[in-house]
Chain A
Amino acid sequence: MRVAGHPPLEDLERFVAREGEPADAHIAIHLDHCVRCRDTVATLRALSLAFAHEPASEPHAGLLNRILSSRAAGARPVFLEDTPRVTGKQWMLRSAVAAVVVIAVAMTLLSPASQLSAGARRGELRLQPATPKNGDTVTAFYRPAGELAKERRLVLRARYRTPSGDWYNDGAPVRQIGTLERGTDGTFKHTFVLPDSVVFAALAVEDESATHVDDNDGRAWELLVHVDGKPARDALIQRQSDLMGRSWEEAYATVLRLAELYPEELDTWTLRETFDGWVQGERADSARALYRDTIAHLVERVRADSLASVEDLEIMAYRTFWEDTADHAYWFARLRERDPRNPQVQQLSTSRIARAHRASPRRMLTELEQLWSVAGPARGPGRVMIQRALGAARQAQDLKAIRRWGDRLRGLGRFGRDPTGRIFVRYAALRREGMERLRAELQRMATAPDSQRPLGSTTAKYRLSLEQEQRSVMAVLGQALIDDGQLRAGLDTLRIATAHGWNRALFQSAGDARLSAGDTTGALEMYALVLADPRTERSLSDSLDAMAHATIGRERWETMRTGALTELPKRVLAHASPRALRGRARVVDREGRQYDLAELSSGRIILVVFWSRFCGPALQELPGIDSIARKLEREDVRVVSITDENPSPDLDEFLRSKDIRMPVYYDVRREAVQAFNAFGTPAYYVLDERGRLRFDYANPFDDVLVQVTALKQVAQAPFSRAAPLGSPDVRH
């Protein structure tokens, strides 16, 4: 017999599981004679059925919201490996986890930046080591997606930042690190040495002609130099600078991380104070109260330290400036003694002089000249000295001073930009020289090196932005030529400047220039464009109508105006490439009803606005956004404003207090942010009536009125050849 005694429990389990199979006949025979085993089988059967009939039990419907809210608030449970249980040695978990809730600030800071790999539709860049030190040899591994997957070689570019890097990043040169070579498994690889001076790098990958660029959807991949296993202080400060204007929320998170890792540094808390002021708004004071004592303690430490760093002295001089107290005099004296040409000394001294001699530009000039002799040349924020002096010189009509200070300004602009041409052409005696400087600017733009192409920008997109900049310079040059008596050349230049793009201010000034040159018809052509702009006041139309009827006649004026209306969509849409959203974007309203963005549109144009209560710029723009949103709603444009919070009475109260009446939706699943690739607020998107994303940038915000007008005109005339539906995508 196979079963001499009681069969093992596992055999009885199997018997229950496949009840009555012939192979188990011997167990059935045993059961006939064994009450104990029969009862065991009955127990197993009861258990099996009890678990199978377990009543359905679901987590609460709001659990996902709670999870996403916790993540948004920075909660990050870390499940530690190999954590022993407390109940005895035999309970040691072999590879167990302990839930330790760590309130961290941002996912990006918790994990090495290179692990922020993107989804399948973007490529993935990985750096080794992920936490490099200065001077390390770093290998970049790139797994491409989309168009870049077809290439054999790719280019790795970086925006390198050193500890002295400025806020914002449009002036930071971008370097080509090297060529990524394709390996046999399709992964690209390049090894490079991280320069000693670099503490932070934003990285992107592109093909050799920069036709397709993968910059991790605008986020860029990041490299933070590490010291003792944690991001270096300068690396975090530079990351914060790099994110300015791109994502205030991420920059703020970086500052919070800085406070966590480097609480002993004064500039940590000064940055924190600054950011709390920006993003906490009315709550800034209560936020700052939490670390007021810490700052007081650090200030006393600096005061007692005769060898305090220039950096700390700068901070103290700046912090106390606004109160203009004896305390400020003390810190300012210490800083000036240590570093007489310090940018902060230049800036603060300039402010004092400007305050004291506001009513007397000549006196101001004299004092600034003295300051220059001891503290010049201007550095960093010290450039304010030159701007103040130029202002005073213009006020005093002192051409020599304009030239002198103008020359001091030359070459200090980003990428060597020279803004003096625009200033000089306003004065007859300096006009010729100003025009030369403007021409030099045009030449500089025409030959701008590739290192000035922003990270993430394709060559096509970069060329468009340069052309826009050139047109703006040409408009000034055209006016200067007319003023100089070179009428034909001036009008030609203006014609080129206004031939493309949509810039109402430029049309207006070109119209004025043509009018002053006696070219009434040319001026009216420009004014017709101004009138086609939806932002133009109606009263202007009345006065222009009268002038036009008297000079070119009613009929021709009407033709001109109709032509301008046709021009608007043509020019505005010329560079707006339609692209689809990434996946579904579902949002909920205050009552918890869920909407797909496509449902909300129902064939209408949609303006989507992402905003946050915790973003200073978004808060500033909110009333303006609300006003434009209401205007658009009246014109049958759907406005969807999406906040980064979940519904709450507190938020309701906020909206009431700000009198915000546009519909507010909640991105509880964070799908909308993903679908739009929204990175930072405020962010605006205009979708056409077919749900395609057409515009993802508006500066100033009221440009959305022009964008919407363009789309509406196209929608109303779908077969019009005048309104192309976009050129090939220049983004990717």
Chain B
Amino acid sequence: MTPSDSRVAATTDLSLEEAVWSARAGEDRGIAELYDRYAAVLFRLARRITESHADAEDVVHDLFVGLPGVLQRYEERGALEPFLKRVTVRIALMRLRENRRWRTLPTETAERVSDAGHIDDEPDWQEVRKAVASLPETLRLPVVLRHGEGYSHGEIAEALGIGIVAARVRYVRAIKTLRLALGVDK
């Protein structure tokens, strides 16, 4: 699992607290400041979920356009980044739903990936990512959130709106599918 790289250097003189206040009040300056700090991280998360650069941009766009409203539900006691990530996940999931891009595992891709050989050898990250992308949505998202964002099963369950047992079962199934797809069992 990869802890996400969370900070982008701030470019205005607002402190984080000032930026939150300012953005909450609907001021562009505060929104721009928070964009500077978090857009890259949130974009990457949205990109992982939607598998589309354009969709990820739309997710970040919608999030920041609606940021003042979103921040009304944010309590300063918690960390802002995980909060924004949770909202990003939800918007990204809605984007997936809108696109009706519910996918099934394309056999063809899985076979091609298997042909790539054993992953113990020289790793081909692109092939691994393709295998992940080829997973059905229900299995892909737990993998993305766990490996891309370091979410616990509980956090995955909350983000996806399912029970914690279901989250774990899906994740285990996803790993098994990947193991097969990447030809490790051959």
Residues of A near any B CB (own CB < 8 A): 9, 13, 17, 36, 39-40, 42-44, 46-54, 57-60, 63-64, 66-68, 70-71, 75-79, 85-87, 90-99, 101, 107-108, 110-111, 115-121, 124, 583-584, 669-671, 673-674
Report the separation of the CA atoms of residues A39 and B178 in the bound assembly, to the nearest whole angstrom: 10
Pick the residue among B21, B53, B91, B123 that contacts A99 (CB under 8 A). Answer: B91
Complex: A46 Cα to B94 Cα, angstroms:
29
A56 to chain B, nearest CB (A): 9
**Which listed residue, B60, B147, B158, B184, touches A39 by the CB 8 Å rule?**
B184
State how many angstroms separate the Cβ of B94 from the closest Cβ of chain A: 5
Docked-complex contact A68 and B32, CB < 8 angstroms: yes
- In chain B, residues 1-58, which have Cβ atoms closer than 8 Å to a Cβ of chain A? 1-2, 12-15, 17-18, 21-22, 24-32, 35, 39-40, 43-44, 47, 53, 56-57
- B128 contacts A50, C-beta separation under 8 Å: yes
Contact A58 B68 (CB under 8 A): no
Select from chain B the residue with minimum beta-carbon distance to A92: B161
Asked whether B65 lies within 8 Å of A77 as measured between CB atoms, the reply is yes
Sample of 5 further A-B pairs with CB below 8 A, known A17-B1, A43-B175, A115-B72: A43-B182, A70-B65, A77-B66, A94-B161, A583-B29
Q: How far apart sit A50 and B119, CA to CA, in the bound complex (Å)?
A: 11
B12 touches A107 (CB 8 A): no
Contact between A42 and B184 (Cβ–Cβ < 8 Å)? yes
A702 to B178, CA, bound (A): 73
Q: Which 6 A-B pairs have the closest CB atoms?
A: A670-B28, A93-B161, A107-B26, A39-B184, A77-B66, A50-B128
Task: Name the contact of B68 in the complex, choosing from A59, A66, A111 (C-beta under 8 A).
Answer: A111
Complexed CA–CA distance, A107 and B30 (Å): 14
Contact status B185-A39, CB under 8 Å: yes
Contacts of A119 in B (CB 8 A): 14, 18, 21-22, 25, 27, 30
Instruction: List 25 A–B pairs whose Cβ atoms lie within 8 Å, in order of A's numbering.
Output: A9-B175, A36-B185, A40-B184, A43-B178, A47-B178, A48-B147, A50-B123, A51-B147, A54-B44, A63-B60, A75-B65, A77-B63, A77-B65, A92-B161, A97-B87, A97-B91, A97-B94, A99-B66, A99-B94, A117-B24, A118-B21, A119-B18, A119-B22, A119-B27, A671-B29
Q: How far is the CA of A59 from the CA of B38 in the complex (A)?
A: 11
Contacts of B129 in A (CB 8 A): 50, 54
Find chain A residues with CB under 8 A from B95 CB: 99
Tell me if B91 and A47 are in contact (CB < 8 A).
Answer: no
Complex interface: chain B residues within 8 A of A101 (CB): 62
Given the known interface contacts A119-B21, A583-B12, A673-B28, the answer about A59 and B60 at a Cβ–Cβ threshold of 8 Å is yes
Q: How far is the CA of A115 from the CA of B184 in the complex (A)?
A: 57
Instruction: State whether A85 and B161 are in contact (beta carbons under 8 Å apart), knowing that A9-B175, A670-B27, A671-B32 are contacts in the complex.
Output: yes
Residues of B at the A interface (CB closer than 8 Å) are 1-2, 12-15, 17-18, 21-22, 24-32, 35, 39-40, 43-44, 47, 53, 56-57, 60-66, 68-70, 72, 87, 90-91, 93-95, 97, 102, 118-120, 123, 125, 128-129, 132, 143, 147-148, 158, 160-162, 166, 171-172, 175-176, 178-179, 182, 184-185
Smallest CB-CB separation from A59: which chain B residue? B43
How many Cβ-Cβ contacts under 8 Å join chain A to chain B?
A: 198
User: CA–CA, A287 to B160, complex, Å?
Assistant: 44
List, in ascending order, chain A residues with CB within 8 A of B184's CB: 39-40, 42-43
Q: Is the CB of A58 within 8 A of B40?
A: yes
Pair B90/A68 contact, Cβ less than 8 Å: no
Q: Is the interface of B mostly helix, strand, loop or mixed?
A: helix
Contacts of B172 in A (CB 8 A): 9
B75 to chain A, nearest CB (A): 14
B69 touches which one: A54, A76, A669 (CB < 8 A)? A76
- Complex contact A58–B43 (CB within 8 A): yes
Measured between beta carbons, the chain A residues less than 8 angstroms from B2 are 48, 51-52
Complex contact B90–A49 (CB within 8 A): no
Q: Do residues B56 and A42 form an inter-chain contact, with CB atoms below 8 A?
A: no
> Contact: A94 with B158, CB < 8 Å?
yes
Q: Which residues of B sit under 8 angstroms from A68, Cβ to Cβ?
A: 28, 31-32
Q: Is the CB of A97 within 8 A of B90?
A: yes
| A46 contacts B119, C-beta separation under 8 Å | yes
Whether A76 pairs with B66 at a CB distance below 8 angstroms is yes
A438 to B152, CA, bound (A): 80
Contacts of A13 in B (CB 8 A): 1
Within 8 Å by CB of A79, from B25, B70, B120, B128, lies B70
Q: Given the complex, which residues of B lie within 8 Å of A76, measured CB to CB? A: 65-66, 69
Q: Count chain B CB atoms within 10 A of each CB in A107, A669, A673 and give the residue with the most.
A: A669
Nearest residue (CB) in B for A77 is: B66
Closest Cβ–Cβ distance, residue B130 to chain A (whole Å): 10
A584: chain B residues at CB < 8 Å are 12-13
B89 to chain A: closest CB distance in Å? 9
For the complex, what is the distance from the CA of A335 to the CA of B70, rounded to whole Å?
A: 50
Q: Are A40 and B132 interface neighbours, CB within 8 A? A: no
Is A120 a contact of B32 with CB atoms below 8 Å?
no
Whether the Cβ atoms of A79 and B91 lie closer than 8 Å is yes
B28 touches A674 (CB 8 A): yes
For residue B14, which residues in chain A have a CB less than 8 angstroms away from its CB? 119, 583
Assembled-state Cα–Cα distance A53/B125 (Å): 7
Contact assessment for B175 and A63 in the assembled complex, using a CB-CB cutoff below 8 Å: no
Residues of A with C-beta under 8 A to B26: 71, 107-108, 111, 116
Contact assessment for B65 and A71 in the assembled complex, using a CB-CB cutoff below 8 Å: yes
